[in-house]
Amino acid sequence: MSANEKAKAKTEQAKGKTKEAVGRAVGNDRLVAEGQADKSTGDAREAKEKTKDAFKH
């Protein structure tokens, strides 16, 4: 996995977790949904990079 893509994935996952937690704390459903979407985007990016790495070897 390229370091840049890995960093992007981890950043998106962390941002998503933070948004989701804040949204739950203040009762904002839209923020919770945005956080879940960001987390999913990070998860998908990470999965894509792992798949690419698997076929490199």
| Residue 1 pLDDT grade (very low, low, confident, very high; cuts 50, 70, 90) | low
Cα angle vertex 37, ends 7, 31, to 5°? 110
| CA pair distance 37, 32, nearest whole angstrom | 9
| pLDDT at site 57 | 67
Residue reference for tokens 């792992």: 50
Q: Report percent pLDDT > 90 for the chain.
A: 70
H or E element, residue 37: helix 29-56
Res 28 pLDDT > 90: yes
Q: Please check whether residue 21 is in contact with residue 35, taking contact to mean a CB–CB distance below 8 angstroms.
A: yes
Res 27 pLDDT > 80: yes
What pTM was estimated for this model as a whole?
Answer: 0.80
